[in-house]
Amino acid sequence: MTPNVPGPLSGLLVLDLCHFLAGPYATLALADLGADVVKVEDPEHPDEARNVGPCFREQSVYFESLNWGKRSLAIRLSTEEGRETLLALVGNADVVLDNYKPGVMAKLGLDHDSLSVVNPRIVSCSLSGFGSTGPEAKRPGYDYTIQARTGVMSLTGEPGAAPGKAGISYVDHSGGLAAALAVSAALVERDRTGRGRHVDLGLYDVQMSMLTYIAAWNLNGGYTPARQPSGSHPSIVPAQTFETSDGHVSLFIGNDPMWQRFCGAVDRPGVMDLPAYRTNTGRAENRPVLVSALQALFLESSSQHWVNLLSSAHVPCEEVKSIDDALADPQAAARSLVVSSVDSRGTEFLHTRGPVPLDATIAGRPAPILGADSREVLIDAGLSGELVDDLIARGVVIDGLARV
């Protein structure tokens, strides 16, 4: 286990009112940077990720992968007393992050205006599908549907085949990163002004931003790329996957000197080093013939052969690995990107690191069972032990440890 070292966000209290992926990934990033993240769930409507398969231990491994390093408070937000108890925590908190549909936090009396009455320094962030304004504000938005709505699916997959989805939920993950960035920026602003702010962020917003050069091509040049075979780049050639004798490699030749090094490494005079191929413009104009010749070349040897040969020539080339191989990669081990968290009972949970692998960081605890830290969190907030016992006895607060 990595030793506990205070991270850059150490001392900050974050209340996480999130579910599924995007919001929990944002607060996971904050937790891994040292913040004390308290996952707040209503036991009548807990995070549905707790039930997502296919793998379960004591609880869903999907849920565990997004909520390690956090504490759990189970409190009935449907009750006035539950909401008042949560507001007592807000008085000592720095951040409240939710990914409810727009309007839910206001209905609960937990919108930014209500929070700032209790704590003017509070930073709040709401991460939803489309944000809280515009004609689609009330429309649900998920990774799958946002990939479709923003045009990304139209560019994914083979030409002539059905549109494809990215292999991971990158809309949710990038949305979570954007939320963590926005919160961090708002905290810096608060240190300057003395007041917090609300951030209204949509997954749609983040994905539209990530269109970058594709949007610029369309808006300024009237050009939109179509799906390309083998995931090839629309204008840089060759930059795509190639089949080898035992798998596939991903090749990226980003400039003409790189192409010259490639030709020197493969040593096929008169085949690869033709004058027509010496510039990217020429390679793009002759793409079908060049790609066909390259494919025949790569089929001659194994993926590892090509990676070794081209890497020695400083040409970017990687084997298309399985998830098993990726997790066992020596580079991942050297960067401590797969770590172990162990709880007080000695239960170990293996997981990937947070997205910013700083040296000063914490070895997060495994994801908590529902309400595991309710008593501790409320007493830390200044509530008396007698009051906490009464809230637990009346079911306003759930003590998860009492059920263990």
Q: Which residues are catalytic?
A: 172
Q: Which two tokens stand for residue 244?
A: 């080898």
Q: Is residue 97 within 8 Å of 15, Cβ to Cβ?
A: yes
**Cis omega before residue 225 (within 30°)?**
no
Which residues, other chains included, contact 397 with Cβ-Cβ below 8 Å and sequence gap of 6+? 73, 74, 75, 76, 82, 85, 371, 374, 378, 388, 391
**Per-residue tokens: 281:** 């413009």
Q: How far apart are CA 170 and CA 166, in angstroms?
A: 7
Rounded to 10 degrees, the C-alpha dihedral 352/355/207/220 comes to -130
Amino acid making up residue 226:
A
Residue 388 three-state SS: helix
What one-character DSSP code corresponds to residue 273?
A: -
**245 Cβ neighbours under 8 A, 6+ residues apart:** 299, 300, 301, 302, 303
The position carrying tokens 């920026």 is 185
**Main-chain phi, psi angles of 351, to 5 degrees:** -160, 165
Beta partners for residue 243, in sequence order: 248
CB 383 within 8 A of CB 92: no
Q: Which residues contact residue 153 at a Cβ distance below 8 angstroms, ignoring those fewer than 6 apart?
A: 147, 163, 164, 165
Burial zone of 94 (CB within 10 Å; 0-12 exposed, 13-18 middle, 19+ buried):
buried
Q: Kindly report the length of the chain.
A: 404
Contact 297, 268 (CB under 8 A): yes
* Residue 355 CB partners (closer than 8 Å, separation 6+): 29, 32, 177
